[in-house]
Every structure is written in structure tokens, then in C-alpha cells.
Structure 1
Amino acid sequence: MAAGLVISAPASGVGKTTLTLALARAWRHRGLNVQCFKSGPDYIDPAFHAAATGRASVNVDSWAMDRGAIAHLVSRGVDADVVLAEGSMGLFDGVAARGVSGTGATADIAEMLGWPVVLVIDPSGQAQTAAAIAAGLRDYRPGLKLAGVVLNRVASPRHQDLVRHALNEVGIAVFGALPRHAEISLPKRHLGLVQAEEQAEIGKLIDEAARFVAEHVDLDAVLRSAASWSPQPAVNGLNVAPPGQRIALARDAAFSFVYPHMLEAWRGAGAEISTFSPLADEAPDASADVCWLPGGYPELHAGKIAANAHFRSGLRAFAETRPVHGECGGYMVLGTALTDADGVRHEMTGLLGLETSFAKRRMHLGYRLAELAAPMPGHRPGARLRGHEFHYSTIIAQPDMPLAVVHDATGAVIAETGSRRGHATGTFFHLIAEDR
């Protein structure tokens, strides 16, 4: 039977990922099997979890997934000693309108699974007020259990004593306090952390984080606070159909944002996946029956993509007879042109008329519910797809037929409809699940 915990915080940027990785690696050093999950639509953190634990991590999302799908995904923790779910943003942060089984908040997952919450609190610029914040989070939703807190970035022993005393007065356990420690800072870029596979020293960084946290946090007390848990049988699994039997998947530093649960669902349905690298000027496998270009950072590699003639001609030849689909960055590469941050316009593959600019930056962020006006690989017209959009590019032109009517989480129609032309389709949102 596993011990389950949720790692959350009052806000983003407080240190949830670092603490999750450190706890996972420290317990692994003690000989425990640790399984991680990511609450919410972040597609970068699961790779860090896998680096820390040696086990694949997946997203669980209460806005996009029903309880059966979530139960199916977390059941992979049945043979683990410890199961950690890392939250997104603040503990109760989600959307205003309820989705399939919740608002997308970390608190939904904690309550659904019955796992206590360990809060990461950064008391920079405050002292006793940190206790008021922690107490407010503890009491905000009945039925949610707060295990205790870990303080991060404490300024001095005196600062720590003030915060600890205030938390003790309101009955909240303090598992430890972390001084500032630049050596375990994870590098970032515009869409979040620099990806785990791009960091050659990620193993050493996680080891240092584990050493540092073990020195300052009572690992035994954290473990004792976890809830005993064994997965319940899932009535329903994931409602995700593979886009084809043989899938050519673009996979490199420019095309890496694909949800692990999607790939697992495709393989679980019997699909075969072959990867290719557009950055290495590779074309999709000619024996595949569908090509999928996920999101990533094409704006950082636009010049190289534009210069890779074998990739571009191979993709065009593939699209003459078989479906090609792009998500977000993949969608941009299927378009006519992409203007980078320096204002340089690069020719893309031209399978769609989409033209985008990263020079005119504007953040697009949020859940998306799309009703397909035409088929896309794996999904019929009229299907309702749930996904998430996060990018900074601006649409200069989107002249093709829309792929879908797309709404945000409030129900408002948005302009990023996706496109379709011939065998090519694309969306700005990353697919998470289809409504049943």
C-alpha cells in the first residue's frame, strides 16, 4: 500500500517542483519506490519527475478528465511506496466554470484521492503573515487535509523562528525550513522550466536538491503525514483514440510538448510510434499512416527548420496522401511563415496558410473546449475535445477553413480556431482528452 501526498503552495514560483524532485530523489536514495504525478496541464514537469524517480509521470486534470480517467492514471502507483502529486499554481487556483470533474485546481485532486497536502511557503518579505496564509488555505475547503508546511527561502534563523512560532500557534506542523540556495535553482525560459532533456546536469542538480532538503527537512515526519492509499478500480480508462495505427511523431528540442498519457493511450490501443527529428533534417517515416507534430520551441529554431529542406519536402510529400496534424508549435511549423523574436521572417512548410509572429508577443493561456467542424486524426466531426493553450505567438494570418469552434473555460468563443487544408490540420491547444 502506497503513501500519498500532494505538494502545493499559495502561488506559482514558490518551489513546488524543486521540493517534489528533492523528496522523490531523497526517498529513492533510501530505497523507496516513488511515483510522481502532475496536477494540471503542465507538460514540462513530468519529465523532471521521471528524471528524479526513474518512473514515468503523467498529468491528472480535473477540468479535462473524469474521475475514471484520473483513477486509471494514478493506478500506476499501486506498486510504489510513496506517491507524490505536484500541484500547479496555488492550491485552489483553477477556472471559474467547472469542467468534467472539477475546475482544474490542485485541491480537486487532493480531495478526490484523499491525499494530505504539504504546502511550500515562501515567507520572503513577511513573517507571521505566512501563518495566516497557511491557516486560510487549511480552512478554505472542508474535507481537505493539510499535512504541514515546508518553508522555502527563509532569510535568517531569526526569520525562521518567527514564522515557525506563528505556525505552531495555529496548529500547523513545520516539516523544515530551506535557506536560499542558488545551486538548486532550475533554469527557466518563456514557457516555463528549461526541459529536463536539455539539461545535461539534471541528475546532479536533483541529487544536490535531495541532499539539501534532507539536511533541512524532516523526511520521516513528511512521510508519516502521508495517507495510506491503494488505487480503486477504474470504471473508465482514458477516452483518447490514437490518430492512426503507425504514427510518425516529431521529437526533438523544437517538438517536445506532448502529454505522456497521450502517448501511453495510443500505444495501449495498439498504435506504433516512430520518432523523427525535424532539427536533424529528418522526414517522417514513409511507412507511417499519420504524422503528428507536437508543440515545443520552434520559435527558437525557426532558421534551422526553414533551412532543413529534406524535412520540409518530406513532410509535404507525406501530406499529399496522409494526415498531418500539428499542435501549437507544430501548428506554426505547418503554416506559411514564422517571424522570430528578432523580427526575422522564416518560411515554414506551407501546408497551411497560418502565419505567426513571435516578435509581437502576447500570452495565450487557458483551457480550451473545441467542437470539431471537420475530422482530425483520431477524432470525428462533432467531437468535443478538451485541451490547454499556452504560447506567446500572435496570429498574423489564419486564412484556411477553421478546424473547430473553440471556447475558453468561461464558454467564450476564441479566435484560435485551428485550421484545415487538404490532409493537414492544426490547433493551438494541446489535446488532453475527448468528452465521452
Structure 2
Amino acid sequence: MSARAILIGAPRSGSGKTSVTIGILRALARRGVRVRGAKSGPDYIDPGFHEAATGLPGVNLDSWAMSPALLNGLASEAAADAEIVVIESAMGLFDGIPAGAGRTGSGADLARLYGIPSLLVLDVSGQSTTAAAVAKGFATYDPAVRIAGVVLNRLGSERHRRLCAEAVEALGLPVVGAILRDPEMTMPERHLGLVQASEHANLAAFIDRMADMVERSLDLDAVMALATSLARPPADAHGFEDALSPPGQRIALARDAAFTFVYPHVAARWRMAGAEIVPFSPLADEPPPADCDVCWLPGGYPELHAGRLATAGTFRAGMAEFAATKPVHGECGGFMVLGEMLEDADGRTHRMLGLLGHATSFARRKMNLGYRQATLLADCPLGPAGTRVRGHEFHYARITATGSDAPLAELADGEGRPLGPSGLRRGNVSGTFFHAIARSA
């Protein structure tokens, strides 16, 4: 590994990590620094913002879902292609699941493994010197996770900044940024988190405003000085054997506002293995290209576009013709579209592809969130029967009718507790609610 790195952490989601990360990424890119963004854990939205800010693909580094060898391989790739890597922690810095040492999925795992210093973003609204108690807790909680500096976020005044900063710096922690409260800096959200980069109106201008905020509010030279070289794993400790194999040589990939959730590392490994990804748009009533040998419907927000999908006759006919002879797989939103019916948030029911027999509802919401371990019961684009896959589930839709199709996998949660049969398969068609990240090792 050649790049230096710093990890942006916080006590919880909503503290401002993403805004600070995006601002730092774009501000460094403006300086001509070759900078790359990474995200700990299974978040599939933030890497899109990282790419938009830097011009370089984002990457997920997930210590639970990825084997150590795959994690090291992806980290090494990111570091080899950049001068500095800025890693954004998911949720709170230490938040993960009970698992083996270094396999919890937390940002702290990456800090320990690669010796990465952490920049702590503290939302200090509603407090002043108490911010120092929070910072001290982070600094002393785990000696293997070094808190190198602090950014104070959502300050109300200069006096507020002074009280917080003096208390934190009395601990020996440098305050390298102080950001005033500004509603215009709030990133728009919907039910699965942030609105995606591809949907953001005036994305470039928005990211530039984040960079302006960072340049105005942070000592960027001090932030860069905190970054250190990533610890280098042994040469035989990284590789890509546990990456998901390409499901075909030419992959028809649905890609538009309804189908957007593809992990960057998954698509990148498919290409590096020699596969060609051929995008098509169901919302534009396009069928999967007939010269492809597999079709993949990724997750996204089909519930927001169900009416258009229901009337896309060319897409519907093309999917039926493709599935008659070639594999089709859907993840989460794609799985919903493969079913018979989809009920949107307003209670309106829309006819879907009918390639599987289930029906789903977004009106009768139930949040499903967490890591998943799947053992495939049949051959499908995720791998042959018996393959164990690690992934993540995050959706509010529920199945309201199961149909009569066979289950695709036996599912367990991240701690190995059985969840029972999951997903469905019929002929060449398969689908699951969980997003596959890597093969289990």
C-alpha cells in the first residue's frame, strides 16, 4: 500500500460524517491531490458521492462481509491508486455486530487493522464542554483506535465554538475544524438513507458547496498531516478468490432511477474477470439486450416508479423472452419487480413481471436491516448450489403473498442465527431481498 489514509468517524449516524467526508474529498481534489473515498460496512449510497467528489470509483471495505484476504486486496487496490484515502465510517465508529476479532463490520476494525488515525466528527448542538467528555471516551475506549483530531459540527456561535474547542483541546486532542450550523448543508434523505448521488439535483454544485464549507471551516493542511500510511498486509494475505464471480460473460444490468444499488467492488471485479456489463433502462421501456447471457436487476427504488414499470410493455416482453432461456436474478428492488404485484406507499397495486409468484407491499412497511449469511439451495447467478454468500438486507417492503416457487437459500443473520428459507426461484429466474457482497470464507 502506498497511500496515506484517515478515517472519518462519529458517535452515531446523522453527526455529519458524510458531509465532512464529501467536502474533504472534493477540497483535496481541487488541490490536485489524487484522493479516493471508501466506506466501511455495507452502505451502497455513499460510495456514489465519493466518486462524484473525486472522479475515482468509491469502494466498500466491510470487515464482516469480506474475508480478510478480499478486504486486504480491495484496500491495497484503493491505496495503490491514490495519494490519500479518506474512509468514512458507517454509523458510530465502534458500531458493528458481535463477531470474531476484527470481523464486526465497524469502522474501528479498519482503524485497528491498517493503523489508520480517526478524525472524530462531533455534533455539539445542545451541548458545550460536554463535548470533551464524549471525545475523551472515544480517545480512551480502545487504545488500538487512535483519535487523531476532532471536528466540531453544528456550532451555534463563536462563543459555542470557543467553549467546546477549549475543553476538547485541554485533553490534548487537536480541534481541526469548527462548522457552524447551516440548514443548507443538510443532505436530503428518504427511507433508506441519503438520496443517491445520481438523483441529486445540481450534484456538482452541491458537492462544491460541501468543499467550500470544508475549506472555510477546517484546517485542511492539519487534516492531511494527521493521515498516515496504511499498514501493509503480508503479500500472501490478500487476494480476490472470495469476490463474487461474474454471473456471465455479457451481463445485462438494469440501470436507471429505479435500479441503482450495485456495490462498486462487485461490478469492478466482474469487469476485471473479463465480463462485460451492458446497461439497459426498464424505465425507458428497454428490454435486456438479447446478446447478453445473464440479466441482473439490482436494488433501488422501484416502489417510486411502479406505475411506469407496470406499463413498460417492451421491458415486460423482453424479460419474459430472456428468462425463457437465460438466467435472471433480482436483488431487493429487483426481486420485488420479478414478482406478480407491488403495492406502493399510497396503497396502489401495480402489476410487475410475474416471473416469480410473490407479491410485495411498501404500504404495509416493516424494516428489515442487518447482515445476512446465505447458503444457496440451487445454482443461480450468485453461484452454484451449496455456495455460502455474505450480504446485507435493508428494506421496508414486505412479502404479502409468497406464491408457490421454491426457496433460493437458507438464511442466517450476521451472528449465525437461522432465519429460515429465503428468496425464490423458478426455472431460470431467482431473486432475494438481500444484497450479496462476497462469498463466505
TM-score (norm 2): 0.96
Name the structure 2 match of 1:393.
397
| Residue correspondence of structure 1 range 36-75 to structure 2 within 5 A | 36-75=37-76
- Write out per-residue CA displacement over residues 319-378 of structure 1, whole angstroms, 9 at most, x where no aligned residue: 011110000000000001000001011110001011110000111000000011111114
2:130 aligns with: 129
Q: Please tell me whether residue 143 in structure 1 is matched to residue 148 in structure 2.
A: no
Supply the AA of the counterpart residue of 1:91.
L
1:263 corresponds in structure 2 to 267
Aligned pair count reads 435
Q: Distance in 2 between matches of 1:251 and 1:303?
A: 17
**Secondary structure, aligned partner of 1:4:** strand
C-alpha distance in 1 between matches for 2:350 and 2:417: 32
* 2:319 matched residue in structure 1: 315
Following superposition, the deviation at residue 230 of structure 1 comes to 6.9
Deviations 1:74-125 (A, max 9, x none): 22322422110111000000112349x5110110011111110001100111
Deviation per CA, 1:213-268, whole angstroms, max 9, x where unpaired? 11111111111111123754453225221111111110001000010110111111
The answer to whether the 8 A contact 2:95-2:106 is kept is yes
Number of the residue aligned with 1:84: 86
Write the mapping of 1:27-426 to structure 2, written as runs, cut at 5 A. Answer: 27-75=28-76, 76-98=78-100, 101-229=102-230, 232=233, 233=235, 235-239=238-242, 240-399=244-403, 400-414=405-419, 417-426=422-431
The DSSP-based 3-state class of the residue aligned with 2:5 is strand
Instruction: Give, in whole Å, the separation in 1 of the partners of 2:271 and 2:293.
Output: 15
Alpha-carbon distance between aligned partners in 1 of 2:82 and 2:326, rounded to the nearest angstrom: 42
**After superposition, what is the alpha-carbon deviation per residue over 1:135-181, rounded to whole angstroms, capped at 9, x for unaligned?**
11121112111111101101111111111121122221110110012
Distance in structure 1 (CA, Å) of the matches to 2:64 and 2:221: 33
Query: What SS does structure 1 have at the residue aligned with 2:246?
Result: coil
**Shift of residue 300 of structure 1?**
0.3
Distance in 1 separating the partners of 2:81 and 2:44 = 24
Deviation at 1:206, TM superposition (A): 1.1
Partner amino acid, structure 1, of 2:168: L
| Equivalent-residue separation in structure 1 for 2:250 and 2:431 (angstroms) | 19
User: Is residue 247–residue 289 contact of structure 1 (8 Å, CA) maintained in 2?
Assistant: yes
Distance 1:415 1:155, change over 3 A: farther
Cα deviations across residues 4-50 of structure 1 (Å, max 9, x unaligned)?
A: 10001000011111101111111111121101111110001111001
SS for the counterpart of 2:198 is helix
Gap runs ≥5 in structure 1 = none
**2:430 aligns to what SS in structure 1?**
strand
Name the SS of the counterpart of 1:417 in structure 2.
strand
Deviations 1:380-410 (A, max 9, x none): 1111100000000011022321111101113
Identity of aligned residues (%): 54
Q: Is the 8 A contact 2:407 2:424 kept in 1?
A: yes
2:422 aligned partner, one-letter code = T
1:404 aligns to what SS in structure 2?
strand
The TM-score normalised by the length of structure 1 is 0.97
Secondary structure at the counterpart of residue 139 of structure 1: helix
Answer yes or no: is the 8 Å Cα contact 1:416–1:427 preserved in 2. Answer: no
User: Quick check: 1:94–1:104 contact (8 Å CA) kept in 2?
Assistant: yes
Distance in 1 (alpha carbons) for counterparts of 2:296 and 2:420: 23
Say if 1:78 and 1:230, in contact at 8 Å, map to a contact too.
no
* Amino acid across the alignment from 2:98: A
The CA distance in 2 between the partners of 1:349 and 1:433, in whole Å, is 28
Distance 1:269 1:414, change over 3 A: same
Give SS of 2:168's match: helix
CA contact 1:22–1:209 (8 Å) conserved in 2: yes
Task: Measure the CA separation in 2 of the matches of 1:152 and 1:119.
Answer: 10
Q: Against the structure 1 CA distance between its residues 429 and 173, is the aligned structure 2 distance closer, same or farther, given a 3 Å change threshold? A: same
Instruction: Return the alpha-carbon distance in structure 2 between the equivalents of residues 266 and 81 of structure 1.
Output: 26
Higher mean Cα deviation, 407-416 or 142-151? 407-416
